[in-house]
Amino acid sequence: MSDASDKVNEAVDAAKEKLGDLANNEKVSEVVDSAKEKLGELANNEKVSEVLEGAKEKFGELKDRLLGGDK
């Protein structure tokens, strides 16, 4: 049983190391920063906000119907 546990721990450690390498990679950091910027632009876009508000309203109506609040 210890052998299987050791193999799992080795695999987890290797995965952590690879994720650390990715997190510290300059190109990956640039892509992540760019994605954050684009998501920020989307979040601040007036049209996107209107669509999200409309979707929230529709989901609220659907929730009310499903829960019987619209009788």
pLDDT at 48: 92
pLDDT at 2: 78
3-state SS string over the chain?
CHHHHHHHHHHHHHHHHHHHHHHCCHHHHHHHHHHHHHHHHHHHCHHHHHHHHHHHHHHHHHHHHHCCCCC
pLDDT for 17-67, tens place per residue?
Answer: 999 999 899 999 999 999 999 999 998 999 999 999 999 999 999 999 999
CA distance 5 to 39: 40
Asked if residue 70 has pLDDT above 70, the reply is no
pLDDT at 69: 65
Longest dimension (CA), the chain: 62
Greater confidence (41 vs 1) lies with 41
- pTM listed for this prediction: 0.49
Domain boundaries, the chain: 2-66
